[in-house]
Structure 1
Amino acid sequence: MARPTQGITTDGAHSTKNRVTRYRAVDISTGEELFIKHLGNQTINIGEFLAVVEAAQYILENDYYPRVIFTDSATAIAWFKQKRTASKKRNTALLKAEVFLKAFAVEIATIELHHWDNREWGEIPADFGEK
């Protein structure tokens, strides 16, 4: 598969030093940052998952096409598909995300979620560039 040119990419970042987790989404075709959020001290998996969920919300609220999201996080993909997390941390954002995925399951099913292949396509466009 060739490097995707359309859709939304998401990524999370966690700094143990600064104890801050954040995530963002970028439109592949325009390079525009669609949103960025700071979560406080969470985990990388929570950031990656919430980024995908918020991208799904963005697609539904803005009638965004194509309805495609890319993430390089296998955990975020698994949690999204299961509509629940395996995180030991419980917080309002996670609970709201799980409720959203279940409540809008029919609409969520119209959104494709794919793994971004960093080796094949280079770093995901939503990457924070801090590695």
Structure 2
Amino acid sequence: MKRPSNGIATDAAHSTKNKLTRYRGIDLSTGRQIFLEDLGNQTVNIGEFLGVVAAVKYIIENDFHPRVIYTDSITAITWFNNKRTASGKRNTELEKAGVFLKVFSAEVDKIDVLHWKNDLWGETPADFGCK
């Protein structure tokens, strides 16, 4: 299977030392960073999910094609498919993301969120290199 070269790759990183969670998205065809957000002290799963939701918003707002997002987070894919999180952490951004996915479900359902296969393709281009 060939490494994807079109779509948006997302990833998140969490530093316990710096108490900082962030996520970003990279346009796979250009390598350009299209968004980067700092969330403060959250969890990597929250960052991964919000990164996917940010990519969904980017696709809808910019009529981006192909309508494909890659993430290496099975949790983020599951939360996206369920249109809600399983996080017990109270977080306004998480709540807004769930509402957005439900309200815009007609458009959201036209977007594929696929698993980035690190074992075949290496780290996602959105990786922060913090491992």
Distance 2:32 2:129 in 1: 16
Counterpart for residue 90 of structure 1: 90
State the identity %.
Answer: 64
Counterpart for residue 18 of structure 2: 18
RMSD of Structure 2 on Structure 1 (CA):
0.5
Amino acid at match of 1:60: I
Query: Could you report, residue by residue, the CA deviation over 1:75-130 in whole angstroms, capped at 9, with x for unpaired residues?
Result: 00000000000001111100100000000001001101100000100110000011
Unaligned runs of 5+ in 1: none
SS in 2 for 1:13: strand
Counterpart for residue 72 of structure 2: 72
The TM-score normalised by the length of structure 2 is 0.99
Distance 2:48 2:106 in 1: 22
Amino acid at match of 1:77: I
Counterpart for residue 129 of structure 1: 129
Distance 2:75 2:61 in 1: 25
Unaligned runs of 5+ in 2: none
Pairs aligned (count): 131
Matches within 5 A, 1:22-41: 22-41=22-41
The TM-score normalised by the length of structure 1 is 0.99
Distance 2:87 2:121 in 1: 29
Moved >3 Å (runs of 4+): none
